[in-house]
Amino acid sequence: MRRRRRKTTRFWRLALLLVLGWLGWDGVVQRPASPARDATQVFEVIPGARLHPHPDNDGDSFHLEHNGQVHEFRLYFADCPEKKRHHLNGQRLAEQGAYFDGLDEARTLALGRQAEAFTREMLTSQPFTLFTKWHKVYDSGRYYAFVVFADGVDLSARLVQAGLARIHTRGTTLPTNQDAKTHELELRRLEAVARERRLGGWGMR
């Protein structure tokens, strides 16, 4: 009788541990904000999206909400400095600082925070249209996109024009059918003006 009670007790203890373990794991697993989307060959045009607050939002990557779903997007053409240092991005920070004529890490991080604030202001102060083909940024769960404002200027260009981003990362043909090379030349022109006027990172040394 005692053996049977011991076996029953052990069984319920084991069952309890399994349940607690499952709950604990379920609590730490990061669930996707919304279902993954399949890549397409043409842009999907998404008006009316709005910025979704998230600690990972920065100058060139941010979460947007539309029709009850949240996705994280990454800008074409523009790469803003990191806003915080962690053990994996030291080399990237160094490359970003070097691009802006040799900023040290502290100034590079400060520039990244400026870029985050700039993008947040842009995305919350005026309407914009999102254009995406749902092409993934490696395996990060992010998707490449253009954010275009009512005047026809996209956010990547605004960031470069303000001296808050380097011309870097993936490019593509624009929603207007302008080819990537032509658009990059336009970005280089905007960058040259920002550099001459010592805007953003170009004036931090």
- In tens, the pLDDT along 132-170 reads 999 999 877 899 999 999 999 999 999 999 999 999 999
How large is the angle between the packed helices 105-125 and 90-99, nearest 10 degrees? 80
pLDDT given at position 132? 97
- Which pair of structure tokens corresponds to residue 33? 């904000």
Q: Which residues of the chain have pLDDT under 50?
A: 1-3, 5, 7-9, 11-12, 14-32
- How many helices and strands (H and E) does the chain possess? 5, 8
77: left (phi over 0), alpha (psi -120 to 50) or beta: left
**pTM of the entire structure?**
0.82
Yes or no: is domain 36-203 CATH 2.40.50.140? no
- Alpha-carbon 173 to chain mean position: 20
- Tell which residue, 115, 91, 74, 76, has the closest CA to residue 204: 115
Domain spans of the chain, in order of start? 36-203
Place of tokens 């030291």: 90
- Which pair of structure tokens corresponds to residue 86? 């962690």
